[in-house]
Structure formats: C-alpha cells, structure tokens
Amino acid sequence: MASLKNEFLAKSASMRSWVPENPPSNRDRLELYALHKQAAAGDCNTDKPVNKGVAEKAKWSAWRSKSGLSQAESMSRYIAECDRQVRVYGSKAGPSTTTVENSSSQPVPTTPASSDNPNSPSSGSLLRGIDSVPLLASAASEPQQNYMQRLAIMNTNQSWWSRQNPLCGPASPSSPSLSSKLENCIISVGTFVETRALSNKSFGPLPPSSIHAFVFPIHVLLLTFWIVLIYLLTIPTTLYLVIKTALLGSNSTGVTLNQLIENSITPTSTVASSMMNDKKNSLPARFIGLALTPLVIITDLTLSLNENAGDFVAASMYTFGVLITWWYWVFVLPWVAVAMGWVGMGYGVCLSVIEFAGV
C-alpha cells in the first residue's frame, strides 16, 4: 500500500506539469478529477452544489460516481488513467498552466487538435477514438432509473450530448475532417433528442416521464452507433497506414509497422473483447463487441505472426484479413446497427407506454 501511495503521489505531481499535445476532452478531465478526489478524500460527503456553476456540479457528479471505490482501487485506476491519457493525447514541452486534480475553472468543450496535415490520418487520433470506446460503453450502461432521474432534475442547458466532441481526429473547427463530420451527426441527433426531453413538456397525453422513458433506449443506441462508427473509421484508416508503411517505409507515415501493431491494431481487438466480456456493459454494447469477433480473430493471427515471423508478415496478415472481410464491415456491421435501432425504437415505445400506464 505504501508503494502504491508513493506511486500515486508521484503520478499526481507529474500530471500537474503535464502539457498535452492535444487538448483532453471534458469527459477525460472529469475522470481524472473524480479518481484523484476519491483516492484522496474517499466517498463524496458533500451535498450537491446548488448555487454554483455547471463546472462545480459536473465535478461533484463525477466524484459521486466513484463512490464505493476503495482508496487502493482509486489510486490504481488514477495511475492507469493518467498513463492512458498521456499516451492518447501526447506531451509537449512547455510550462503547465492548469492542474487536472485541483482545477476549478469551468470545463470548456474541446476539439482534438489537428495535425500538420489535416488530410493525413494519424495513429494518435485513431488511438484516441478507440481508447474512448470503454467510456462510451460505460455511459451506455447507465440504468434506466438513473437516466430518468437525471433528466428530471436537469435543464436544456445541461444536456450531456451537447458537451460531447468528436473522438476520431484529426479535426479543426474551421476545417473538420470527414470522421468528425460523421461523429457530429450522431452528437447532433443526441443533442436534439435529449434537449427536447429536457424541456419537460408533455407530448399530447404523454407526460414528461413517458418522454424520458422513450428517449432512454435512443440514448443507449446512439452511444452504441458511435462505438460502431469509431470502429468503421478506425479499421480502414489503420489498414491504409499499414499498407503505406509496408510499401513506402515508416518515413511516409511517421510510424513503424511494430508501432502500428502495438498501438493501433492491438487496442482495437482488446477493447472489443473487453466490451463483449464485461457483464457491466449494456446488452447493445456487448452485442457490438460480439459483432466485432472477426476483427479479434484477425488481430490474434496478426499478433501470433508478429511474434514468430516479424512485422512485415504480420502486417500482411492483417491486410489480407481485413480485405477479404470487407463485405462484413461495409454491409453486415452497419446493418446490424440499423436493426438494433429499429428494435430500440420499439423498446422505447414499450417503455413509454409502461411509464404512462404507471405499471
């Protein structure tokens, strides 16, 4: 425990001077804050701030969501999350102006910084999207009762979806990439639906609670669609980088084949397996994890060859595996998502009727 505490203190100190190359999302900033607060002070023991700004309320909610975690578990998760964010967002030299744990400034929506060539995909932007999938799956696993209670006490200015940002860069506000535009479509739909629900207006004979019940599965499905979109964006872009690096060398992409295998190919498989096997995830998220089994198999074969035959042979295996299953990624996986959408709409209608009937 003493060594864990020393590692935690050292990691906290290093994060105060960390200057990310790309700005972390609000969600990731709050995750670090909450884990640090839980590790340092234990379960949230303060009342929800009423007369304070959105930032303080968000920080309180984030801290409260970690209630029940032991100090050791909180420290371990904080250290792991710090390592993940440094790996995802990168580091650059320069003095730090904010601290993650003690920052009291209002979180400002951030957009991942663009690379020097906005038309050139980067492994860092790929990793940022894939590494955010567990957080999206966790958000999709919020119980219906908690979701409806949250909507009942929030207003239209507190929409969760309106604070989200594209995860698969590169992107810039002035010249968004195709991936950012596609992600923004999902975010815009989520914002529209949630904002209408937060207006707390009746729809004909249906009270606001019935509207909230109807919106719940839509919220879960939109998060699931976002996960599917991240994978559909990541797989071809990773394939492009692998082929370009194999044919033209690492100077053409800025990464080696081994780096692509370790930092881009492996995480896509690991996250998919974890999403399917984690019983805490919602059924749609676990089902998408199951639907990604072909990618897991391709990756396992790639890693096996990488150990025994080298980077080039492993990259060739990945390229061959993805290309011969192109029909699955182009037709099957999107249609699985569409079918889930129709089922979700029907489920939402049922929940709305049940809520209206008071069953």
* Among candidate residues 92, 110, 128, the one where a domain is terminated: 110
* Among candidate residues 66, 84, 110, the one where a domain is terminated: 110
Query: Among all chains, which residue has been given the structure tokens 């190359």?
Result: 21
CA separation, residue 302 to residues 18, 173, 197, 294, 296 (Å): 34, 37, 46, 12, 10
Same domain, 225 and 319: yes
Closest CA to 153 of 111, 212, 112, 219: 212
Give the CATH number, domain containing residue 10.
1.20.80.10
Count of the separate structural domains present in the chain: 2
Same domain, 205 and 341: yes
Q: Give just the sign of the alpha carbon dihedral 267, 272, 274, 280.
A: positive
Backbone angles phi, psi at 227, to 5 degrees: -60, -45
Residue 34 pLDDT more than 60?
Answer: yes
Kindly compute the dihedral angle of the four CA atoms of residues 121, 123, 125, 131, in this order, to the nearest 10 degrees.
Answer: 150
Same domain, 119 and 106: no
Same domain, 34 and 160: no
* Among candidate residues 59, 92, 110, the one where a domain is terminated: 110
pLDDT top residue among 312 and 280: 312
pLDDT at position 95 is 42
Peptide bond into 176 cis (omega under 30): no
Average pLDDT score over the chain: 82
* pLDDT tens-digit series, residues 103-151: 333 333 333 333 334 344 545 555 567 878 888 888 888 888 888 888 8
Closest CA to 46 of 37, 36, 54, 55: 37
Residue type, 137: A
Question: Could you tell me the residue range of the domain that residue 142 belongs to?
Answer: 113-359
Same domain, 134 and 11: no
Backbone angles phi, psi at 20, to 5 degrees: -70, 145
Residue 74 pLDDT more than 50?
Answer: yes
pLDDT at position 263 is 82
Q: Give just the sign of the alpha carbon dihedral 339, 186, 189, 60.
A: positive
